[in-house]
Structure 1
């Protein structure tokens, strides 16, 4: 079989050269289209379900949230196993699917099952899916350099402007904010005053919730003009909350201010984010979507940052503290230099040892064609260009050259034997 292939190739050199050229072009196109990353993605094919129930202990979270969710999610198709973790106020569930399962199909199945088990959870608890990213999806971290703004104002800019701008970038799954203070109205109830007025905490909560609402009305026509009537009742200041009536005693309204203290403050934090020992910072983490090109996504995010900077307050700018793009570029440049050096060294060795330019040329041509063709297989199997895959290609150059040298020496040996036989036959005929 091998002899027939060699014989056919020798008889159809033009077709072989044409196929090699086509394979090379296809390979170089695949090189440009292959996704680039610094590290291979070895994370499992998983979907994360996150549930928040603040103020509850881990055991209560385990009994009323984690256990019901785990027992119901275990019956999903193509699930390998389900992991869970319960902590103070939060529950994390990791559903691990088979490797060949599409991640978005898996997310749909999880959403369908969650819609049927929400009734078994405590009131007000709503499980939600994690971002459609992987364990190595954190491609860029940034902070806001805003020396003239306090942490609450910086977090407001991050949550209500920067986050929404960057989240629209193609390939970005989520912008996770960190640091600073999330502004909120805090009502500190005085238990002695509640006892004096014969009230409970639930009365205060119900009064605030009922007054923080917007009610629709109807269309009212007058003088052939239609008016839409509605009531805007959203709370917008501390004074409005203080003046909310909780109940009445002898025709006198008992307000929130009579039983509690209202203030604007930040949400309770479990830690801080300090940068280089220079103080707290506010920023975000860019999470890449599953299966995207990390290098391309980073470039698009940076371009969007330049555009977003125009809308920031004066003196506020981005400070990138982790950029995988730099690591990707350094890794790719290092592998490129290694490949080029290997190709040069191998070419010189082949020329020196074989000392036959046609044999050396046939071996040297194999190196770029084989490397370019390998990227066709990388794209076919969804493997990115990273340190591991490119190092494997660099190591394979030695095997490529060895095969070429062996075949060339074998061909040269057989040709020499045939030539010796031909010379001997010529001598016999002359004699």
Structure 2
């Protein structure tokens, strides 16, 4: 079979050459268009269910929302694991399916179960599935901030509201329209609302109840349909609009008639723009002038201590991509959209797009691997030319390398494999092997052609016959050697779970490139050799190249010494092998080597129950300490949780993204590029900017680890997400303690912490807090309520309106919409005694205070 393949290739040399050129051209085209990502597809099919349960405490969310959903999904088809998190008014359930299942079929299974779950959930709890995304889906963080200096707190609040409105309705909608974007979450600023704020005293002064005010507010902004009005011979659509667009229009709405004039909303409440009770906020800082030490210049410390920063409170937007989207292409599309938006925004509004970009890490990682492939290829060229001493034979061998790589790229394209660090790593490992088959074949062809040339003319055979026989001679050796090398990679395919998904593409890329190299050596190499070698003048020279002759002499000496001391050589090898095998037990193990992503992700967690203002104060202190580090370029902070975020974080948690300057950028110029090809000398091809990354990381940890009341964890964005996917926790090692008694679990956790703390190498050790947060419980006196004909639900609805606020309608402003909310003002909401003064109207018409 293989002999026939060689024979057919030599008989159709023109076709083989044309096919090779087509493969190379088509391979280059596909290489430019193939999606590029940092890792292979590690996304285990996961469906995220988010349920908002406004006003419920975490334990109520756990019992009333999370558990019913979990119980229904545990037995669903194909479900491998169900994880959940319950917070204040929020339930998040992650449903994981087996590898290889269709995510859309999995979502259909979950949707069917959710139809049953809705019957068991509270009336205002509506579970929804989050958009399809991936573990590496968070590709970009954007900051929207104002450069204007507010003159008063009111002006600052108005600017925060303007930024949030721009982010919510302008930037978010434009970004969601970009193909490949699955979700954009907005955090920070003030979510604009039309608010009707009152107090028990103001209502009592006009003898108006909160229910009456709520009913009036509901009627203040209405849009209704009037059907069709027929006026022959035409008809018209009848629109009934009672919409309010200004605060004054809402204020003039009557609550009730009291002769001789109505009581209006403005008589019992204030109508203004405001925001809901914040559950998250954000800020962004950018260094305008990098420290001199961070640019590689020597400067006294007094000059380095005064860097200039710009920033402050901001709106942070998180962009998630769809699993199949090309991160680099999507990044360029988003940049184009942002560039067009910059011309439409107010002059004082700035979009910070360099806070975190996954594309930067992908570019750096892919460029590093590509550079390794390129350097390996260059050294293969040099070594081949030195050993063969013949340009034609070297060209025949080297041409097979790019052809094999491009053929591998086409196989990737046909099988749906992306270009990533693992597939490129497999090709980089195989670079030396890609030319082995062709070298063996072309060297034997060259040797047989030279022997044929040195024969008398009457005994010489046709060059094609010599080439065919020479290729057939080494054919078995080439095939056997290739298959043996391929067998080395087979253990990678036995790895299960995340490890298998990570490393199997590396083995597949290695094996694919070797098989492509084998095909090239059996088809293209003999054909190309038949075109270049038969007319070579060097065939008349029977001597080997100088370097090869010298290496043969050295090999002869080494071989004779080894044969004379065979026992000593074998014993030494056995001892070294034994020591090597024994040392494995003392070697450390890690899932992946540490990355240099260029960005740090710092998690700060305060004690549960800490208010948002206090969390921001502590996180702001950490921000300033981090900004003092010379190598820091920008800092972005997110405290709490955004409305559509898939993380059940409380306001006691902050996440800070720190962008660092590159420590070793390559020096520009072809001379330095050539220098980087030479081992050891390549060190002089890179610049040294600032301090090494390990030193910077230690400096950051030293600065913020001693902040009182804060548990600190320092990592990197992608590494954190890998850790979270493996254990559900953003840490490399997680110890989980299970049990029924929460108090006993806390005791065991602190005991484990005390035992682990002295272990060398452990940093950022912390216990996930499982403590009860402060609560103010308002209990309905059922007997007293029944005396006045009130059900507990009547009282609970009134309290919910007063304390949490009730959305009575939505105000439409062009393509934007804002909630109209009725509730008590901040002072009344925060004082239980004032709340007790609320007047209720009973079925008998008698009015009583809530405290009764």
**What TM-score bracket applies, with the shorter chain setting the length?**
0.7 to 0.9
> Which residue matches 2:96?
96
> Which residue matches 1:298?
331
Q: TM-score, normalised by structure 2?
A: 0.45
Is 2:381 the counterpart of 1:350?
no
> Which residue matches 1:35?
35
Q: Equivalent residues in 2 for 1:4-403 (5 A)?
A: 4-148=4-148, 150-191=159-200, 204-218=213-227, 229-242=238-251, 244=253, 260-276=269-285, 278-321=311-354, 322-403=356-437
Please state how far the C-alpha of 1:135 moved relative to its aligned partner.
1.8
The 3-state SS of whatever aligns with 1:314 is coil
CA distance 1:337–1:278, change in 2 (3 Å): same
The 3-state SS of whatever aligns with 1:385 is coil
CA displacement 1:1-33 (0-9 Å, x = unmatched): 444444444444444334433433332232122
The 3-state SS of whatever aligns with 2:38 is coil
CA distance in 1, matches of 2:116, 2:456: 86
CA distance 1:13–1:225, change in 2 (3 Å): closer
CA displacement 1:333-386 (0-9 Å, x = unmatched): 333333222212101101211234443222201110111112123223433222
Please state how far the C-alpha of 1:84 moved relative to its aligned partner.
1.9
The 3-state SS of whatever aligns with 2:311 is coil
CA distance 1:363–1:189, change in 2 (3 Å): same
CA distance in 1, matches of 2:347, 2:52: 36
Residue 26 of structure 1 contacts residue 373 of structure 1 at CA under 8 Å; is this kept in 2? no
Please state how far the C-alpha of 1:292 moved relative to its aligned partner.
1.0
CA distance in 1, matches of 2:66, 2:211: 27
**Mean CA deviation greater in 383-392 or 104-113:** 104-113
CA displacement 1:143-178 (0-9 Å, x = unmatched): 224323711111111112222122211222222212
**Mean CA deviation greater in 374-383 or 61-70:** 374-383
**Mean CA deviation greater in 370-379 or 113-122:** 113-122
The 3-state SS of whatever aligns with 2:32 is helix
CA distance in 2, matches of 1:274, 1:88: 23
**Mean CA deviation greater in 52-61 or 77-86:** 77-86
> Which residue matches 2:685?
none
Please state how far the C-alpha of 1:38 moved relative to its aligned partner.
3.3
CA distance in 1, matches of 2:260, 2:230: 37
CA distance 1:124–1:242, change in 2 (3 Å): farther
Residue 53 of structure 2 contacts residue 89 of structure 2 at CA under 8 Å; is this kept in 1? yes
**Mean CA deviation greater in 89-98 or 39-48:** 39-48
**Mean CA deviation greater in 87-96 or 384-393:** 384-393
Name the structure, 1 or 2, with higher relative contact order (CA <8 Å, separation 6+).
Answer: 1
CA distance 1:250–1:121, change in 2 (3 Å): farther
CA distance in 1, matches of 2:249, 2:283: 36
CA distance in 1, matches of 2:238, 2:20: 76
CA displacement 1:226-253 (0-9 Å, x = unmatched): 7765443344444555555556789986
> Which residue matches 1:429?
none
The 3-state SS of whatever aligns with 1:325 is helix
Residue 207 of structure 1 contacts residue 245 of structure 1 at CA under 8 Å; is this kept in 2? yes
CA distance in 2, matches of 1:193, 1:73: 50
CA distance in 1, matches of 2:312, 2:9: 71
Q: TM-score, normalised by structure 1?
A: 0.84
CA displacement 1:242-281 (0-9 Å, x = unmatched): 5555567899866655665544222222342122283111
CA distance in 2, matches of 1:52, 1:382: 38
CA distance 1:411–1:228, change in 2 (3 Å): closer
> Which residue matches 2:564?
none
CA distance in 2, matches of 1:5, 1:219: 79
Please state how far the C-alpha of 1:35 moved relative to its aligned partner.
0.3
The 3-state SS of whatever aligns with 2:27 is helix
The 3-state SS of whatever aligns with 1:275 is strand
Residue 224 of structure 2 contacts residue 241 of structure 2 at CA under 8 Å; is this kept in 1? yes
Gaps of 5+ in 1: 427-431
CA distance in 2, matches of 1:82, 1:210: 45
